[in-house]
Structure 1
Amino acid sequence: MAAVDANYKLIYASVGSQGRVLDAGLFAHSDLHKAMERGLLNFPPPEPLPNSDIMMPYVCGR
């Protein structure tokens, strides 16, 4: 599993799990997930959608 920033720079990598582990299971037990849950990654605060007052958080996608 790996993560890159907006400039495609590798910022996180995790190796060494069994081949049968599903993506969700791998992520759920990763130190990246733990850091996200603890608020240690300095994600920007939620912002309103363009031309709206609806607040949306930043998310990680695949």
Structure 2
Amino acid sequence: MAALVAIVLLPFVADALPWGDGVNRVLPTFPAFQLIEQYPDVMPAWAAVTVLGAWAVGLLAVVIVARRV
């Protein structure tokens, strides 16, 4: 639950930072918005799918490692 809240709130915190735009491009929120065309000029569609896929693979890797420990 805490991770979900952090992922949702992190883009708003990152906007306050000088390098926040770069951070927001790799968080799952903005690529997802780009795919549903709320922010159509964030990144190309293939890059948005790649970012979202990397998040899914990364979280699955964390779960696999946690189960083996």
In the superposition, the TM-score normalised over structure 2's length comes to 0.24
Return the structure number with greater strand share. 1
In the superposition, the TM-score normalised over structure 1's length comes to 0.25
